Every structure is written in structure tokens, then in C-alpha cells.
């Protein structure tokens, strides 16, 4: 477990796109801090990752994959909201039920760990239902991403390396949430950006509350930086939260160590 603690500690000093209130788009310039490389590594994950600049994409194609159809309680579905035209369909309704998680302050003493998540039910960019609920019965990694964040641009290829190496724990579900949308910032719209980055997992488009200038799903999960990840076990309980770049090897090992052994150990 010492190695796991080292990885978690590294997450505290990892580069991350942060803000005073993350859902309000008031970002500070991120500090650039190198993360120590692990002495152990797997051949499929340890090669030096290739960083490719995100180019402008002229063709707005739809995402290739669609999530499986999910049964949704009508009482949990968010009412239709007219979002500002500037978002160009890149934000969608999101319904939240249950108590929100506190904002993450310290990974070492995160009071959300061991508690139940709030359920969030929203849509992808094509209007298909995407839900993350405490009753899903599936271990899930929720990844909050901001299209303008350089650290999200660096970490998505690392997540894809884990996918391509089939190195996630068996049965793990990965769900992305596109949040903190800002039409004036780089890589807008996020739908096109995520396709360009080869994001093949489910994606939920976060909702924007114009009355509070906040993003609903991000606020419900206590997001305080980007990329921000929340690991949930099969019982719907939080196993860990962290933000910033970890890289493929450290991320795969951290998720595996937190999911196994079971939650009651």
C-alpha cells in the first residue's frame, strides 16, 4: 500500500487546470510539476507517451460510439432548459438526485471517500441518455474534462493507452463528463475535440446553470480541477478522487489498487 500512497501523493502535485470555483470558469495558470516515474512498468504502458497538438478540425463529425440504452425513472430526468445560444448545443440537461459531494480539498483526507455518490442523469451530444447512479452496480471511473485544459489534452491519450492495453480492472466502466464549456477558449466545441482525441467511452454533456454560472454535474461531484476523476465501486461508494495528470501506468495501478480488494476490506 506504500506504492499506492505514493501515487496518491503524486496526484496532489500533478499538473492540473484549477480554479477557485471550478464550475465558474475563473481559471488560474497551472503550475507545471513533474510526476516521478515509477520504477516498475508494464511494456504496454511504460513507453514515453507521444503528445500530439490538438489541431482545429473543420469537419464536425458525430461520435462513433453510442451508450447502451438505459432505463431511467421519469422523476429523475431533468426538465428541458433553453441554454444560451453561445454553447451551440454543447451543454445538455442534467438531473441530480442525492446529496452532492463536498469539494475536494485534500486527497489524503477526502471526506467523500466511503460515501455514496449523487446520481446524475444527462445526455451525450446526440441526445442519448447517460447516467451514473449509486444503484448501477458497476465499478465506474468518472472523468471530468474541460476542452480548453492542456492537462486534459495530455491525459486523454494516457487513458486511451490503458484502454488499448486492456489494462483497466475487469468490468470497469469509464464515463467522461464534458464540463466547464467556454466557447471563447481553445478546442471548442468539445464534441469535436473529444472525437479528435479518440475518446471512445460514454460522454455526458454537463448542464449550465446560468443563474449561478455553474456546471451542474461538476458541482455535484465536488470538482476542483481538471482533469478530475472520481472512482466509484459496485456499491455506489466513492473509493477515491483526484485531479491532474498521472499518466497511463500510475493511473491504471491506482484505479486497480482502489477497486481491489473489495470495498469492505
pLDDT tens profile 39-93: 333 444 544 433 322 233 223 333 233 334 344 444 444 444 555 677 788 999 9
Determine the pLDDT at residue 42. Answer: 42
Section 153-169 average pLDDT: 98
Residue 106 has pLDDT above 50, yes or no: yes
Determine the pLDDT at residue 17. Answer: 80
The three three-digit cell numbers of residue 117, written as one number: 455518490
| Radius of gyration (C-alpha) of the chain in whole angstroms | 17
Q: Which of 30-39, 73-82, 153-162 bottoms out in mean pLDDT, i.e. has the lowest?
A: 30-39
Give the Cβ contact number of residue 73 at 10 Å: 12
Average pLDDT, the chain: 77
Which of 4-18, 85-99, 121-135 is modeled with the greatest confidence? 121-135
Q: Where are the alpha helices (DSSP H) in 31-79?
A: none
Determine the pLDDT at residue 213. Answer: 87
pLDDT tens profile 186-221: 999 999 999 999 999 999 999 999 888 899 999 999
- Helix 248-259 to helix 2-13 angle, to the nearest 10 degrees? 130
- Smallest CA-to-CA distance from 203 within 147, 154, 241 is with 147
Determine the pLDDT at residue 70. Answer: 41
Determine the pLDDT at residue 71. Answer: 42
202-205 and 173-178 strand pairing: parallel
Signed CA dihedral, 7, 13, 14, 18: sign only: positive
Q: Where are the alpha helices (DSSP H) in the chain?
A: 2-13, 150-164, 190-196, 216-220, 248-259
Domain ranges, ordered by start, for the chain: 2-29+74-259
Spatial separation of the C-alpha atoms in residues 174 and 159, rounded to whole Å: 10
Determine the pLDDT at residue 210. Answer: 85
Residue 24 has pLDDT above 60, yes or no: no
pLDDT band for 18, please (50, 70, 90 cuts).
Answer: low
Q: What fold does the segment set 2-29+74-259 form as a domain?
A: Glutaredoxin (3.40.30)
Determine the pLDDT at residue 79. Answer: 47
Section 108-113 average pLDDT: 94
pLDDT band for 165, please (50, 70, 90 cuts).
Answer: very high
**Which secondary-structure segment (H or E) carries 226?**
strand 225-226
CA of 220: how far to CAs of 186, 215, 216, 246, in Å?
A: 25, 9, 6, 23
In the block, residue with C-alpha cell 489524503: 108
> Could you tell me if 119 and 248 are in contact, meaning their C-beta atoms sit under 8 angstroms apart?
no
Section 148-176 average pLDDT: 97
pLDDT tens profile 134-151: 999 999 999 999 999 999
Spatial separation of the C-alpha atoms in residues 216 and 210, rounded to whole Å: 10
Determine the pLDDT at residue 38. Answer: 30
Residue 245 has pLDDT above 70, yes or no: yes
Determine the pLDDT at residue 52. Answer: 28
**pLDDT: which is higher, 243 or 86:** 243
pTM beyond cutoff 0.85: no
pLDDT band for 230, please (50, 70, 90 cuts).
Answer: very high
Amino acid at each position: 500500500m506504500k506504492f499506492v500512497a505514493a501515487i496518491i501523493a503524486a496526484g496532489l502535485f500533478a499538473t492540473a487546470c484549477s480554479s477557485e470555483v471550478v464550475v465558474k470558469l475563473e481559471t488560474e495558470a497551472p503550475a507545471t510539476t513533474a510526476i516521478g516515474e515509477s520504477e516498475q512498468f508494464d511494456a504496454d504502458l511504460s513507453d514515453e507517451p507521444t503528445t500530439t497538438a490538438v489541431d482545429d478540425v473543420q469537419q464536425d463529425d458525430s461520435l462513433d460510439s453510442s451508450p447502451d440504452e438505459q432505463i431511467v425513472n421519469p422523476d429523475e430526468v431533468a426538465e428541458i432548459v433553453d441554454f444560451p445560444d453561445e454553447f451551440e448545443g454543447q451543454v445538455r440537461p442534467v438531473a441530480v438526485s442525492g446529496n452532492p459531494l463536498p469539494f475536494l480539498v485534500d486527497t489524503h483526507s477526502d471526506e467523500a471517500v466511503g460515501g455514496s455518490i449523487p446520481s446524475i442523469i444527462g445526455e451525450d451530444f446526440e441526445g442519448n441518455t447517460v447516467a451514473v447512479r449509486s444503484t448501477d452496480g458497476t465499478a465506474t471511473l468518472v472523468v471530468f474534462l474541460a476542452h480548453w485544459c492542456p492537462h486534459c489534452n495530455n491525459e486523454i491519450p494516457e487513458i486511451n493507452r490503458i484502454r488499448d492495453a486492456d489494462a483497466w480492472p475487469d468490468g470497469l466502466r469509464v464515463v467522461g463528463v464534458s464540463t466547464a464549456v467556454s466557447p471563447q477558449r481553445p478546442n471548442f466545441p468539445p464534441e469535436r475535440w473529444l472525437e479528435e482525441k479518440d475518446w471512445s467511452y460514454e460522454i455526458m454533456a454537463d448542464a449550465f446553470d446560468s443563474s449561478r454560472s455553474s456546471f451542474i454535474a461538476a458541482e455535484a461531484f465536488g470538482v476542483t480541477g481538471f482533469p478530475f476523476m472520481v472512482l466509484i465501486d459496485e456499491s455506489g461508494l466513492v473509493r477515491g478522487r483526484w485531479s491532474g495528470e498521472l499518466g497511463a501506468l500510475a493511473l491504471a495501478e491506482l484505479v486497480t489498487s482502489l477497486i481491489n480488494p473489495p470495498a469492505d476490506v
